[in-house]
Amino acid sequence: MCRNIRTLHNFEPHATSDEVHAAALQYVRKIAGTTKPSQANAAAFEAAVEEIAHTTQHLLDALVTTAPPKNREVEAEKRRARYEART
């Protein structure tokens, strides 16, 4: 599950709220050990996703770097190459 969490810092354009939410969702899924919570746990699951997404956005907004922004296509190609090497 956590392979879907991607680095979000130092890209141009900046990470979207959808990307931040997707990373938070994957994190909560991994911690909870389930991709879909039971009805009894759904509210807690969603609250955790929202809190983590909110905190992640604050982190990304506060981070600074002198490195040039990364290119999303180049990074995606590197991920594909690593995947191909594993299979």
Give 75's pLDDT tier (boundaries 50, 70, 90): confident
Beta bridge partners of 25: none
The alpha carbon of residue 40 and the mean position of all alpha carbons in its chain are separated, in whole angstroms, by 25
Give 13's pLDDT tier (boundaries 50, 70, 90): confident
pLDDT digits (tens, 9 = 90+) for 30-55: 999 999 999 999 999 999 999 999 99
**First-residue to last-residue Cα distance in the chain:** 18
pTM of the model: 0.81
Give 4's pLDDT tier (boundaries 50, 70, 90): low
More confident residue, 31 or 87: 31
